[in-house]
Structure 1
Amino acid sequence: MTIKNAGRAPVEAEQAAIGRWIDHWEPENTEFWHRTGKRVAWRNLWLSVLAEHLGFNVWTLMSIVVVSLDDVGYAFTVGQTFWLLILPNLVGAALRIPYTFAIPRFGGRAWTTMSASLLLVPCAMLAGAVTAEETPYWFFLLTAAVMGVGGGNFSSSMTNISFFFPEHRKGLALGINAAGGNIGVAVSQLLVPFAIHLGTGINLSYAALIWMPVIVVSSACSWFFMNSLTAAKPDNTSYREALTSKHTPVMALLYVGTFGSFIGFSFAFPSLIGIAFSDFSQFAGIAFLGALIGSVARPIGGWLSDRMGGARITLWNFVGLSLGTVGVLLGVRVESFALFFGSFVLLFVFTGIGNGSTYRMIPLIFRTETSERVARTGEDMEAAQKAAKRQAGAVVGVVGSVGAFGGVVVNLVFKFSLQAGGTVIPALLAILVFFLTCVLVTWWFYVRSTFAIERAPNLSYARI
């Protein structure tokens, strides 16, 4: 579907665009944005949020179900349980790269519909596994691995939405989209324990069944009301150039420090409460507040970055993460649960803000580099900026994948620390060193230099 007249009636343009490819998309054109683009973009955003939220709901299911497997007759060892927890993370992280490239190949509408529909498979497998007698361990492993499709949804969703919004609104839009997904962790941690205790006894199948009707609704809405943008289709060079850019590994490292910490802390926090402060183990039930607070903070990071610059926010955010880690360390050393819990909540706040600010930096980095190159070479600005958007979309997927692997690393660091010395202090010291490294990396690459967005035409409102 082509929208060729930015001045046509907004309602008519919006209706014409529903469920179609859009060939003409100019979010930077103020008239186009207010007459046509704004409504289409926000409709696609909210439907994307729903699909991505469900992805996180399903992705984290096994981490909640394993707690009750012993109660229904499955006596798995600690090692077996560990693999049930780590497989969804590994598969989800690995899928984020191909999911990113699915957007230019299939379009946002078709791929969101397909990726949401795929969530029915692990739900059905889990429902069958926990209701059939003597289900073998290998089937639980397979079910946990298939749950990883929920983790892949994040990258395709973020890549797709990044094309819909103008630069000065992209930070908030990506922050809302990501927060809507991230909050799925907290929602599952809160709702699933209640669901499985409905009725008599423990009904683990309800952990999967409660999501299936919503998944069907989400898939239908994605198909009938979302759009695909021709601007997201790949050219011959932009995606390859993005993957070889020096900024891709740098931003991946920073995202490990933000999203990797968020997802790693979300899985570890309930256990750490019981391990570090056994007398306060009853507070493990409110550990979902960490994931909830971190998710809510994410759009704040995007909003602040739109106004103050993503690099500046990211820099000070890692300073905050370092201070929060020091607080957790002191809480463990002096055996103060209040300091430990409060500092951990602060960590979640900063991981959320950092998630928003780092993702805000990516499109601006490539847009700035492109503008500078055009100024030197005289190539066509419009074509170059379209390529820059494709490059940024590719990097979003790569960075998201590496960040998800970071969540696995965080949990392994805690695991090895506890196995080696029976305390989390070595793990916290290692995390503190990593956060301080991220402070230096952010300053070196994006704050100290003159690599500023003011140098790009018509984008003097912020720094990267």
Structure 2
Amino acid sequence: MTVSIKRWEPENIIFWLTRGRRIANRNLLLSTLALHLNFNVWMMWSIVVSNLPAIGFAMTGQQQFLLVSIPPLVGGIMRLFYACIWSWVGGGTWLGISTLFLLIPALGVGWLVQDISAPFPLLLLVAACCGIGGAASSSHLSNTSFFFPKSAKGFAMGLNAGMGNLGVSVVQIVVPLAIAVPLFGSLAGEPQIWGRGAQVHPVWLQNAGYIWIIPILLIATLCLLYAHDLPKLRLTLNDQWLMMKERHTWYICLLYLSSYGTFIGFSAAFPLLAHALFPLVNATPYLFLGPMICALARPIGGWCGDRIGGGITTLVCNALMVVGTLLILVSLPGELDGGSFSLFLCAFLLMFFAAGVGNGSSYQLSPKVFLIEAGRQAKASGESIAAAYTRGGRRGVAAMSISSVSATLGGFFIPKAFGSALDWFASFVPAFMLFLVFYLVSMAVAWWQYARPTASMRC
């Protein structure tokens, strides 16, 4: 089973160099592998949904957007509980247990897609089960943050989350390949007939769920054998409730929503959006690019946050997302032309890059802001540095879990906004205009609170 650690002092340079760094890096690796797999399972549903009508499931475009919005919604709600439970069970132990939970959506998707007569509520239920994969970030990243000293938190968390987020890109490469061949033979069931226009061929859509079973069992076993449990923190929902009264918690929530919400929302919606806007273009070969760029850019955001400042980096990223949104609006099909898919794709890639860097820079604001605040309070009251560090770290983790929950809701609201705009206005333009205003507001918050020279929490 996992190893329990009684003493952990990452800010003690001797402890860190002689023992701490090796243990921290091992747990970072295991957490990253597990988080990557969680994102694989979480986002496989968006690929599955885009194929359901082609194999015989009867549903409207609004219903499709609703189905892809459910896993982010459920994942966000579950993060409230995941953010606490790991601190009671133990970070390493929870890595293994939470990874085993992924068997539920993997088996559920593999079973459901083989029955085209399945009622829509059952589709919603399986979509909700896929949300289990979206809950892990709040526990994985919070646990990881405690292993590293303040000077290395940004990069470590950026690497953890970035390589975890890369699972969104990997799933968009792996699933289309996996469903095209009978990987498991007769064990997985009969193929479905996929038809769209003149294209008709067999697919094994159940493979989208079944291919993750062996990796789930393998990674869960590695975590249970080799991960570490730090001293129990005993975080509770009350810790998060108390942090909801802090104004900086909500500023950081807004900024993380603008970046992570963009990433997860557009990752879920892009396959349906591209098909709806450019039906003559096969966008499948490009689906992985945006999430991959976003995931690889996240460690850059963490590094920039450590070296340049989280506020300044986040400000620049929101400015780039404003530019990207404007370019998308220019690329959309109009009454007189069919639009430009090339410009549409490039603009989205810019959005994903900016969101990726912003993910790293905005998320690391939570531990830093509340550690700075605790240090100032300790200096004024005479509290010991060790006690202030513990208190500031605990508050920072609680704030991180809240921002993680709020940002995940972007994965619900973005696809839902596209579906509602299509239903109400027969156009996606109102949704993009709403996002544009939001990025401008986020720029203002980043500048005033964390980037301007006279900001009280410039970091």
Indicate whether the TM-score tops 0.5: yes
Q: Which residue of 2 aligns with 1:164?
A: 147
Residue 339 (1) aligns with residue 343 (2): yes
1:376/1:449 CA distance change after superposition, 3 Å: farther
- Is 1:60 the counterpart of 2:37? The answer is no
1:296 aligned partner: 296
* C-alpha contact 2:240 2:401 (8 A) present in aligned 1: no
Would the aligned equivalents of 1:175 and 1:298 in 2 still touch at CA under 8 Å? yes
- Specify the alignment match of 1:11 in structure 2: none
Task: Kindly indicate whether the alpha-carbon contact (under 8 Å) linking 1:271 and 1:284 is maintained by their aligned counterparts in 2.
Answer: no
Shift in Å, 1:82:
3.6
Q: Distance in 2 between matches of 1:19 and 1:422?
A: 54
| C-alpha contact (below 8 Å) 1:57/1:184 kept by paired residues | yes
1:366-377 equivalence runs, <5 A: 366-377=370-381
In structure 1, runs of 5+ residues without a counterpart are 1-17, 454-462
CA contact (8 A) 2:65 2:419 kept: no
Distance in 2 separating the partners of 1:99 and 1:30? 31
- 1:55 and 1:150 in contact (8 A); partners too: yes
Q: Do the aligned partners of 1:265 and 1:410 also contact (CA within 8 Å) in 2?
A: yes
Contact 1:368 1:452 in 2 (8 A): no
CA distance in 1, matches of 2:181, 2:373: 56
Distance 1:132 1:341, change over 3 A: closer
Distance 1:185 1:215, change over 3 A: same
* 1:89–1:405 contact (8 Å) kept in structure 2: yes
Instruction: Work out the CA distance in 2 between the residues paired with 1:329 and 1:99.
Output: 38
Q: Are positions 1:250 and 2:233 aligned together? A: no
Q: Offset of 1:153 from its aligned partner?
A: 0.7
* 8 Å CA contact retained: 1:21, 1:229: yes
Equivalent position of 1:330 in the other structure? 330
Using the TM superposition, give the Cα deviation of residue 452 of structure 1 relative to its aligned residue in structure 2, in angstroms: 5.8
Q: Please name the residue that 1:352 is paired with.
A: 356
Q: Distance in 2 between matches of 1:237 and 1:140?
A: 34
> 1 CA distance for matches of 2:67 and 2:431?
22
Identity of aligned residues (%): 37
Partner Cα separation in structure 2 for residue 439 and residue 363 of structure 1 = 21
Kindly indicate whether the alpha-carbon contact (under 8 Å) linking 1:95 and 1:152 is maintained by their aligned counterparts in 2.
yes
Kept after mapping to 1: 8 A contact 2:36/2:165: yes
SS in 2 for 1:147: helix
- Within the candidate set 170, 176, 179, 1:196 is matched to 179
Deviates further, 355-364 or 444-453: 444-453
Structure 1 residue 128 displacement after superposition: 2.0
Secondary structure of 2:364's aligned partner:
helix
Tell me the CA shift for residue 79 of structure 1: 4.4
Q: 1:124 to 1:382 in 2, by over 3 A?
A: same
SS at match of 1:309: helix
Quick check: 1:321 aligned with 2:302? no
1:269 Cα deviation after fit: 2.0
User: CA 1:374–1:321 in structure 2 vs 1: closer, same or farther (change >3 Å)?
Assistant: same
Trace 1:391-410 onto structure 2 (pairs within 5 A). 391-410=395-414
Q: Take 2:104 and 2:237, find their aligned partners in 1: how far apart are those partners?
A: 35
Identify which range, 128-137 or 57-66, moves more after superposition.
128-137
Q: Is the 8 A contact 1:251 1:362 kept in 2?
A: yes
Is the 2:65–2:272 contact (alpha carbons within 8 Å) kept by the matching residues of 1? no
Q: Deviation per CA, 1:317-368, whole angstroms, max 9, x where unpaired?
A: 1111112212222223783333322121111000000000011111110001
Q: Secondary structure at the match of 2:113?
A: helix
Shift in Å at residue 275 of structure 1? 3.2
Instruction: Report the CA distance between 1:75 and its aligned residue.
Output: 2.5
Q: After alignment, is 100-109 or 242-251 more displaced?
A: 242-251
Equivalent in the alignment of 1:460: none
Give yes or no for contact 1:254–1:358 (8 Å, CA) kept in 2. Answer: yes
Between the aligned partners of 1:78 and 1:28, the Cα distance in structure 2 is 53
Match for residue 6 of structure 2 among 10, 19, 23: 23
Q: Which amino acid aligns with 1:99?
A: Y
Q: Do 2:81 and 2:237's aligned partners in 1 also have CA atoms closer than 8 Å?
A: no
Give the superposed CA RMSD. 2.2
> CA 1:162–1:34 in structure 2 vs 1: closer, same or farther (change >3 Å)?
same
Q: Is the 8 A contact 1:252 1:403 kept in 2?
A: yes
Change (3 A) 1:412 1:79: closer
Contact 2:80/2:237 (8 A) holds in 1 = no
Call closer, same or farther: CA 1:140–1:409 in 2, change over 3 Å. closer
Confirm or deny: 8 A CA contact 1:124 1:208 kept in the other structure: yes
> Aligned partners of 1:237 and 1:142: how far apart in 2?
29
Cα drift, residue 232 of structure 1: 3.5
Equivalent of residue 380 in structure 1, options 370, 381, 384: 384
Partner of 1:285: 285
Residue 136 of structure 1 deviates from its aligned partner by 4.0
Distance in 2 of aligned mates of 1:239 and 1:307: 29
* CA positional deviation for 1:381: 2.4
User: SS state of the match for residue 23, structure 1?
Assistant: coil
Larger relative contact order (CA 8 Å, sep ≥ 6): 2
CA deviations 1:352-406 (Å, max 9, x no partner) are 0000001111111000100111111122321121011111111111111110102
- Which SS does the other structure have where 2:427 is aligned? coil
2: distance between equivalents of 1:26 and 1:387?
A: 14
Instruction: Mark the CA change 1:430 to 1:135 in structure 2 (over 3 Å): closer, same or farther.
Output: closer
Does 2:428 correspond to 1:427? no
Aligned positions of 1:91-170 closer than 5 A: 91-131=74-114, 134-170=117-153
User: Match of 2:207, as an amino acid?
Assistant: Y
- How far 1:284 moved relative to its partner? 4.2
Aligned pair in 2 of structure 1 residues 278, 134: CA closer, same or farther (>3 Å)? closer
Match of 1:307 in 2: 307
**TM-score (normalizing by structure 1):** 0.89
| Aligned pair partner of 1:365 in 360, 363, 369 | 369
Give the distance between the partners of 1:388 and 1:216, measured in 2 at CA. 36
**Shift, 1:106, TM fit:** 1.0
Equivalent in the alignment of 2:188: none
Larger displacement relative to structure 2 (113-122 or 71-80): 71-80
- Distance, in Å, in 2 between the alignment partners of 1:195 and 1:403 is 30
Quick one: distance in 2 between partners of 1:120 and 1:178? 22
Find the aligned partners of 2:270 and 2:150 in 1 and give their Cα distance.
36
Give the TM-score of the pair, scaled to structure 2: 0.90
TM superposition shift of 1:57: 0.9
Deviations 1:233-254 (A, max 9, x none): 4499865543322111111111
- Does the residue aligned with 1:266 lie in a helix, a strand or coil? helix
Structure 1: which amino acid aligns with 2:412? V
The amino acid across from 2:296 in the alignment is V
1:51-86 CA distances to partner (integer Å, 9 max, x unpaired)?
111111111122111233234443234444344322
